[in-house]
Chains A and B, each alone.
Chain A
Amino acid sequence: MRELTYGQGIKEGMRIKMLENPDVFIFGEDVGLFGGCFGVTSGLFEEFGEKRVRDTPISEGAIIGAAVGAAAVGLRPIPELMFVDFATVGMDQLVNQAAKMRYMFGGKLKLPMVVRLPSGGGVAAAAQHSQSLEAWFTHVPGLKVVYPSNAQDAIGLMLTAIDDDNPVIYLENKTLYAVPGQVEDEVKPIPLGKANIKREGNDVTIITYGKQVYDSLKAAEMLEKDGIDAEVIDLRSLYPLDKEAIFESVKKTHKVVIVSEEAKRGSYAGELAAIIADECFYECDAPIKRVCALNTPIPFSGNLEAYVLPNADDVVEAVKSLF
């Protein structure tokens, strides 16, 4: 085992595949010489050169569009948009092109591309640099969506995502970049659609991903003191979704709390709640709860942002309301 930060994990996943396959290359805003806005690609420009680690103009539509074109003719691009919020500018290329080309063309094209999108709040970046837009992507047939919470998963999911022949949205939480984690010496690819039980428990199932895995684990510790034994599931992959892991857990605990950093209205957390209500309702003996951000843009001032975003206390409160 060794220690790597989450950001280093993301980089290692890309680096391994770049060494293995000359068709894999990175491009995006400040990913080259500058090493990425959050330093994730630092060193790769020096190692692989400008051809494979390219700085682009600030042109989100062109970045995603060029990735689509390059992928359609056989390369495996990894475009990065610096902030998930900027995906709004490249959304046609993601939603109408990347996600639909294979289907529209009768299955005759493959689009192997991994779109890196740093997400989430908590860094005083205010409303246009702090969103959690996973519901936008999971909503669109044709896209796969992953969201690692730690260095090991960041590597394993990246390895799989790059080898995938479909467009994969790779969401990263920007508060986690510097968080260290234990990593196996040789990380194996993690299949998409395989959740990870981070903590086993019998009384309530907390379903989460990304940064909220940490909040949920903290909440589970707090709950333990009150005699509530929480199970925490880190989904890792939002689509495909490991329904089996969710249902297995619900059958054991009969209570569900879903935790995400999204604005609650129209959230992916809501979709998870609907899936459980639809397919596992009779196993539930309490309402399915969602702990999300408030339905506001993310504010700047620290106390306001902390108020709007969910935290461990909110998870504890939601869980306790079920008992």
Chain B
Amino acid sequence: MKISNETIIEMYEKMVKIRKFENRAMNLFAEGQVGGFVHLYIGEEAVATGVCASLRDDDYITSTHRGHGHILAKGGDMKYMMAELFGKESGYCKGKGGSMHIADATKGILGANGIVGAGHNIAVGAGLAAQYKGTDQVCACFFGDASTNQSTFHEGLNLASTWKLPVIFICENNGYGISVSQARHQNITDISQRAVSYNIPGITVDGNDVFAVFEAVQEAVARARKGQGPTLIECKTYRWRGHFEGDPTVYRPEGELEQWKKKDPIPRAEKYILDNQVMTQAEMDQLNAKIDAEVEEAVEFAQASKFPDVASAVLDVYTDIVEEGRTR
């Protein structure tokens, strides 16, 4: 498949954006400027990027607890994301969601999700709505290897395949369900095998090769738009950080991380870009500098923003009921 230079540059930019955003979030967490549970996507950038490059603005995604990459890849605004990590009023969720619950309905982002496996059926619902309304929208559903052991995975694939819904199930197999390695949590190596049970295509791709992910998803999206139903795509990848920031990662065998760092998706894309003269080194450097500035701008925006007024705590539980507040 010939991928246009424009798409290649766009994907490269997205991956770098995610990497730089996540590195900055990591530092801010270490400095104590950002609290709570932060699950970083470093190392997995090619998956979200390759998937979302195949989607339109009006397509949907559901995400996971490790959602920053998905949201950035689908067009989420770094400023509002960073402000949300800080718990500020200007954040995507007005400080009510934090890292694990960022959503942007205007971009089709139906939310990061703190419950492992909860996104499968929400994605099925979004796909159902597209089919019901007769649009050709699709929904990409991101989830990890461990969530394929949840009943929701099987219920979702069963329903989506039975009703031929336009859902692309993207399994980010990063080798671990929190601390439990894949070999210790399921009796298969390739999760794409599970597609057989639902009589849908299941493929495994190198999740650290953004072009491979893109190509696989292109095909799945085309099928979905034509009403041919869902596809399960397993992207083999690896998370460089722990499950959450602060995780001592005692469960990793020595040398494993280093092996995976050699497969870092970003230098791989850079090599392709240079080899094929898509961009020059100088152009790439310029792009990197632009993204650095963008991340800093987001941090400054977040730092300068106000914390939400406590009175807002009782708002938005319902569309039409304001819950009782405290008298203090």
Residues of A participating in the B interface, judged by any CB pair closer than 8 Å: 25, 51, 56-57, 59, 61-62, 64-75, 77, 92-93, 96-97, 101-110, 141-142, 144, 164-166, 240
Contacts and interface: CB of A to CB of B under 8 A. Distances in A.
Contacts of B69: none
A164 B318 CA distance: 10
Interface string B86-106: 000001111111000101110
Given A61-B152, A62-B152, A107 B323 contact: no
B111 interface: yes
Nearest to A25: B132
B159 A102 contact: no
Interface stretch (B27-35, B120-128, B176-184, B233-241): B120-128
Q: Is the interface of B mostly helix, strand, loop or mixed?
A: mixed
B75 to A, nearest CB: 15
Contacts of A51: 132
12 contacts: A56-B159, A66-B125, A68-B121, A69-B123, A70-B128, A104-B93, A104-B97, A105-B92, A105-B96, A105-B101, A105-B111, A109-B105
B122 A69 contact: yes
Contact of A96 (B103, B115, B120, B323): B115
Contacts of B139: 69
A161 to B, nearest CB: 13
B151 interface: yes
Which 4 residue pairs spanning A and B have beta carbons closest together? A69-B125, A65-B121, A107-B316, A106-B93
B110 interface: yes
Contacts of A62: 121, 124, 152, 155-156, 158-159
Given A69-B121, A96-B115, A106 B128 contact: no
Given A69-B110, A69-B129, A106-B92, A61 B155 contact: yes
B168 interface: no
Contacts of B162: 57
A92 B121 CA distance: 11
B321 interface: yes
B322 to A, nearest CB: 11
B159 A67 contact: no
B320 interface: yes
Given A66-B159, A104-B93, A144-B318, A72 B125 contact: yes
A59 B158 contact: yes
B315 interface: yes
A102 B151 contact: no
B114 to A, nearest CB: 8
A21 to B, nearest CB: 13
Contacts of A56: 159
Interface string B157-187: 0110010000000000000000000000000
Best-buried of B105, B158, B315 by chain A (most CB within 10 Å): B105
Interface in B248-294: none
A74 B95 CA distance: 25
Nearest to B318: A166
Contacts of B125: 65-73, 77
B27 to A, nearest CB: 25
Nearest to A107: B316
B129 A96 contact: no
Nearest to B120: A65
A70 B123 CA distance: 9
A103 B319 contact: no
Given A69-B124, A69-B125, A70-B126, A102 B320 contact: no
Contacts of B156: 62, 65
Nearest to A73: B129
Contacts of B127: 69
Contacts of A165: 319-320
Given A104-B96, A106-B93, A166-B320, A72 B126 contact: yes
B15 interface: no
A92 B105 contact: no
Best-buried of B97, B115, B132, B315 by chain A (most CB within 10 Å): B132
Contacts of A107: 94, 315-316
Contact of A92 (B62, B94, B115, B124): B115
Contacts of A77: 125
Contacts of A61: 121, 151-152, 155
Contacts of A103: 96, 316-317
Given A62-B152, A65-B125, A65-B152, A70 B132 contact: yes
Given A62-B152, A69-B126, A102 B121 contact: no
B216 interface: no
Contacts of B62: 69
A233 B302 CA distance: 51
A251 to B, nearest CB: 21
Contacts of B60: 73
A81 to B, nearest CB: 13
Nearest to B113: A97
Contacts of B317: 102-103, 141-142
B152 A106 contact: no
A175 to B, nearest CB: 31
Best-buried of A51, A72, A75 by chain B (most CB within 10 Å): A72
B118 interface: yes
Interface in B50-76: 60, 62
Contacts of A57: 155, 158-159, 162
B121 A108 contact: no
Nearest to B137: A73
Best-buried of A56, A70, A71, A165 by chain B (most CB within 10 Å): A70
Best-buried of A96, A108, A164 by chain B (most CB within 10 Å): A108
